[in-house]
């Protein structure tokens, strides 16, 4: 990834962090800050890195990443039946990457 691409992601992190901090959980802020710090250190992996030798990740540097905002479901929550009805245990429900307590069974 070029320095310009890295700078683009770093510059867009601040507004993203500000927007998410309003509705996010406090403990995730530390994780996001640690992640962006780590992102800024090394460059994006290339095929020259042994661990990434067979993974071409360059296309991901050309897309604009946007935060996934919580959206209202398009279907009623009661229509989302458990995947395994006879399952006994804890179920965590997520929709569009966000926790939906109404779908969770704790």
pLDDT in tens, 33-71: 888 888 887 666 777 777 777 877 777 777 776 766 666
pLDDT in tens, 19-29: 777 766 777 88
Nearest Cα to 67, choosing from 27, 105, 3, 14? 14
Report pTM.
0.44
Measure the CA–CA gap between 9 and 44, rounded to whole angstroms.
11
- Report domain extents, the chain: 1-67, 68-106
Measure the CA–CA gap between 67 and 22, rounded to whole angstroms.
14
Helix (H) or strand (E) holding 99: strand 98-99
């Amino acid at each position: 990834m070029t320095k310009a691409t890295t700078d683009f992601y770093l510059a867009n992190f601040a507004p993203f962090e500000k927007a998410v901090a309003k509705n996010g959980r406090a403990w995730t802020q530390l994780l996001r800050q640690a992640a962006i710090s780590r992102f800024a250190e090394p460059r994006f992996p290339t095929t020259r890195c042994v661990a990434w030798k067979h993974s071409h990740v360059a296309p991901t540097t050309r897309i604009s990443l946007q935060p996934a905002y919580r959206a209202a479901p398009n279907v009623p929550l009661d229509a989302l039946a458990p995947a395994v009805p006879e399952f006994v245990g804890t179920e965590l429900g997520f929709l569009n990457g966000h926790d939906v307590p109404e779908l969770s069974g704790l």
